[in-house]
Structure 1
Amino acid sequence: MKTRRKFLTELLFAGVILGGCSLGSSYSFLGRNGSPAPVQQGQIECQPLDMASQTILHHASLAPSGHNCQPWRVRLCQHHKWIIEADPTRRLPYVDSNNRELLLSLGAFLENLSIAAATLGLHAEIEILGSDSMDREIARVFFEEGPAADYNLQLLERRRTVRKGLSPRVISPSDLARLTATTEGQTIYVARGSKQSTYLEDSVVEAFRLQARRDDAQEEFVRWLRLNKNEIMRHRDGITTQSMGLGGIAEWYVSTFMSPADFLSDKMRQKGVDATAAQAREGGGWLLLTNRSQAVADLLTCGRRFQRLALAACELGIAIHPMSQILEEEGAPSLDGILRGDSSIPQFVLRVGYIDRYPTSVRLRRPADWFVYS
């Protein structure tokens, strides 16, 4: 007769779940009936937000972030002037020690903010304030009235990381051209079946194995686990059973019987490595998103490009799964042989592939009055 622990392990990894909880592996949340889940009262002092500001900030907050840590704060200086800040309490110092991924997340936040504002007839003029990756004040946003843009904001709601069900079919030239255009040419596509693709498959697994061995990185990961409804409602951030791809009996078992500390066992870490290996073999190839420097402004721009890429992929029925541990770990395999040799710096390693049906988004986000103050 199976032990409870063995039963759990088999359920937990019947699907592929734990690999790749870095930037982009983040979700937002609505109740199962589609209505907003109950929230706590605002945690930061702020004047009541008008409907336009609420709309803009809600859609901005749908940006991805590592471990779904949501590392943004917004200071309302005037009605049409905001300061976008990095929240130091939401850093991931053990997997993102230099705030590289935090700045990429804030870039995606700014992209969503700009898109949402444009649909309301507001042009977001963005001035970069940060010059060091550890700066708190990152950007100033001014809003100017103009013609409303025609953009379906449901696309921002639908975008999510997809880990399972990726087709091995290579990305078509027309779809690849559209994706590349969103990043202003800063993408490198590595098609499934090539030597470079095989190298990437092996490399991302090795990088995940290195990270799985690090106690500090794994302890940081489990601090962001939200395994039951009480934790979800209390924090409205982090990694849930649904965002890991669990459902049915497995989801019930984990939320009922497990604690985050259970994920620190050697057996669970190895299962995570095995899951990552299975994921790496799926899909139509890889996209590397690059830029030319690690300057604050360039990382924010790269984050904005990533968000445009992710939204276009969602519209095309292409899944994107960031597997960027290879960029986080010292001693991880080098990507020099895949880069163009023109000083390009990889900022995202993305597994991509067509999917038959884009899955429903599993959304978990803090309401605006939790991260806005005046």
Structure 2
Amino acid sequence: MAEREVLLKILDRARWAPSGDNTQPWRFEIVSGSHIAIHGFDTREWCLYDFDGRPSLIAHGALLETLRIAATGFGLEARWSVRAGCPDIAPIYDVELSEVPGLVPDPLLAHIETRVVQRRPMRTKRLSAEQRDRLLAAPGPGFQVRLFESLAGRFAVAKLLWDSAHVRLTCPEAYAVHRQIIEWGARFSKDRIPEEAVGVDPMTARLMRWVMKDWARVEFFNRYLLGTVAPRVQLDFIPAFACAAHVLLRPERPPTTLGDHVRAGVAVQRLWLTIAALGLYLQPQMTPVIFRWYAQAGRQVSVKPGIDDAVRLLARRFDAITGFGAADSYAFFCRVGHSSQPASRSTRRDLDELMVGS
């Protein structure tokens, strides 16, 4: 039985796990000295990007792996299971902790809080053989990593992201999300993405802030003033070149259960923390993956004419770049590279805001 203070310290570190747009779709409950319950939820009701709650489930997996790693710092082994009878939109994860004499802290422990998103251009310095090998091995069994390092590979991804961003920035359903997830005028944000971490220059940020107050303004700028060009150049095209590699994480078998998506999140966090341990930085590029999920399922993205056709075309182009088939599964897509420490970042809600129960 661990003391409550120890469990709180573990949770205080675990809360630094990544989640889509810093939504933190979890709450914590200390049931006993050896039992923590994680109350998960998803944002599919309001967030276009949370397709069937999959990104939230991946975030849950990242949290559970972060908690497991944090527990090793106190000589505790953490094992999780999904509580039976819970709906997929609100899963509860029961985490059982046990003391293991001589348990060595996980080598990734030191990087939980230093792991950060770098949305700005990075250096094109190539990965070393050691870095490459460790990235390929990081997710563990059941997952494969594909690297796109060549100039041609990065250019192909840049074109894909350029067109994906056009869909993202002209889709009214995506606009509704974008309005909620940015905290303007901020360097740090506890529950959103701060403006300074978005990745655009100050002038573009000021223009975006004004334009995004109203969808009619967005449509006017997009149609008559090339409103998507500056953000697409700064957020997608240039960063796609200015990196060491693009990284695709895929499960060896298509996920069919809630647990499969959660385990993908475990793999994502191990990959991300390994990247931090190697002195590298990462930017998620999940929009093409999410649009591909919509295309695979034959689901509508938008009521706006032309959006769904563009999404299906993007999915086919993505598969042409990767060499995989339309039935294959992708879990995570990102770029990595060398850079200085970002000056701005999303932080997290205080632990007491995330606690439920006694």
TM over 0.5, yes or no? yes
d(CA) in 2 for partners of 1:272, 1:333: 22
1:149 to 95, 104, 122: 104
Q: How large is the Cα RMSD of the aligned pairs?
A: 3.1
1:171 maps to 2:127:
yes
Aligned residue in 2 for 1:274: 233
Q: Is the CA contact (8 Å cut-off) linking 2:36 and 2:95 kept in structure 1?
A: yes
Q: CA deviation at 1:154?
A: 3.9
Query: How far has the Cα of 1:258 moved from its partner?
Result: 5.6
Q: 1:228-251: CA deviations, max 9, x gaps?
A: 46995xxx201112322479x769
1:207 aligns with 2:164: yes
Q: After superposition, give the CA deviation of every residue in 1:41-97 in whole Å (9 maximum; x if it has no partner).
A: xxxxxxxx9331222112211111111111112233323212222234686531113
Matched residue type, 1:108: A
Could you say which residue in structure 1 is the equivalent of 2:350?
367
Q: Alignment partner for residue 136 of structure 2, among 176, 180, 192?
A: 180
Structure 1 runs (4+) deviating above 6 angstroms are 130-133
Partner deviation per Cα, 1:251-283 (whole Å, 9 max, x = no partner): 9x959x869627972445443222212222211
Whether 2:270 is the aligned partner of 1:286: answer no
Asked whether the equivalents of residues 227 and 260 of structure 1 are also in contact (C-alpha less than 8 Å), the reply is: no
Q: CA deviation at 1:288?
A: 0.3
- Aligned equivalent of 2:23: 69
Closer, same or farther in 2 for the Cα pair 1:89/1:197, shift >3 Å?
Answer: closer
- TM-score, reference length from structure 1: 0.75
Write the distance in 2 (CA, Å) between the matches of 1:211 and 1:181: 32
Which residue of 2 is the match for residue 159 of structure 1?
Answer: 115
Q: Distance in 2 between matches of 1:312 and 1:246?
A: 27
C-alpha separation between the residues in 2 aligned to 1:315 and 1:83?
29
Distance 1:82 1:155 in 2: 23
TM-aligned CA distance change 1:53 to 1:246, over 3 Å: farther
Question: Which structure's relative contact order is higher, taking Cα pairs within 8 Å and 6+ residues apart?
Answer: 1
The aligned residue for residue 305 of structure 2 is none
Structure with greater helix percent: 2
How many Å apart are 1:136 and its aligned residue?
0.9
Secondary structure at the counterpart of residue 328 of structure 1? helix
User: Structure 1 residue 137: deviation in Å?
Assistant: 1.9
- Other structure's SS at 1:175 match: helix
* Preserved CA contact (<8 Å) 1:105 1:303: yes
Task: Please name the residue that 2:61 is paired with.
Answer: 107
Task: Please give the alpha-carbon distance, in whole angstroms, between the structure 2 residues aligned to 1:114 and 1:128.
Answer: 15
The answer to whether the Cα contact below 8 Å between 1:130 and 1:136 also exists between their aligned partners in 2 is no
Does 1:336 pair with 2:319? yes
Task: Please list, as runs of the form range in 1=range in 2, the aligned pairs for 1:124-273 lying within 5 A after superposition.
Answer: 124-129=78-83, 134-146=88-100, 147-150=102-105, 151=107, 153-184=109-140, 186-194=144-152, 196-228=153-185, 232=189, 236-245=190-199, 254=206, 261=213, 265-266=218-219, 267=221, 269-273=228-232
- 1:289-304 → structure 2 map (5 Å cutoff): 289-291=249-251, 292-294=253-255, 295-304=257-266
Distance apart, 1:309 and its partner CA: 1.2
Q: Is the 8 A contact 1:73 1:371 kept in 2?
A: yes
Please tell me whether the aligned partners of residues 96 and 102 of structure 1 are also in contact (alpha carbons under 8 angstroms).
Answer: yes
> Could you say which residue in structure 2 is the equivalent of 1:3?
none
Contact 1:84/1:138 (8 A) holds in 2: yes
Could you tell me which residue of structure 2 aligns to residue 96 of structure 1? 50
C-alpha offsets along residues 93-121 of structure 1, whole Å, 9 cap, x if unaligned? Answer: 31113111111111111111111111011
CA deviations over 1:2-32 (Å, ceiling 9, x no partner): xxxxxxxxxxxxxxxxxxxxxxxxxxxxxxx
Letter in 1 for 2:162: V
Kept after mapping to 2: 8 A contact 1:323/1:349: yes
Aligned partners of 2:196 and 2:103: how far apart in 1?
A: 35
Structure 1 residue 340: deviation in Å? 5.1
The number of residue pairs the alignment matches comes to 318
Distance, in Å, in 1 between the alignment partners of 2:181 and 2:95 is 30
CA distance in 2, matches of 1:246, 1:55: 36
CA gap of 1:363–1:148, structure 2 versus 1, over 3 A, is farther
Q: Which residue of the other structure, out of 317, 338, 352, is the alignment partner of 2:336?
A: 352
CA distance change for structure 1 residues 183 and 189 in 2, over 3 Å: closer, same or farther?
Answer: same
Q: Distance in 2 between matches of 1:231 and 1:250?
A: 19
Q: How does 1:114-125 map to 2 (within 5 A)?
A: 114-125=68-79
Distance 2:16 2:53 in 1: 19
| Partner amino acid, structure 2, of 1:178 | R
- Flag structure 2 segments of 5+ consecutive residues without an equivalent: 222-226, 292-310
- Give the conservation status (yes or no) of the 8 Å contact 2:76–2:99: yes
Paired AA for residue 50 in structure 1? R
* Counterpart contact for 1:192–1:286, Cα < 8 Å: no
TM-score (norm 2): 0.78
Residue aligned with 1:333, SS = helix
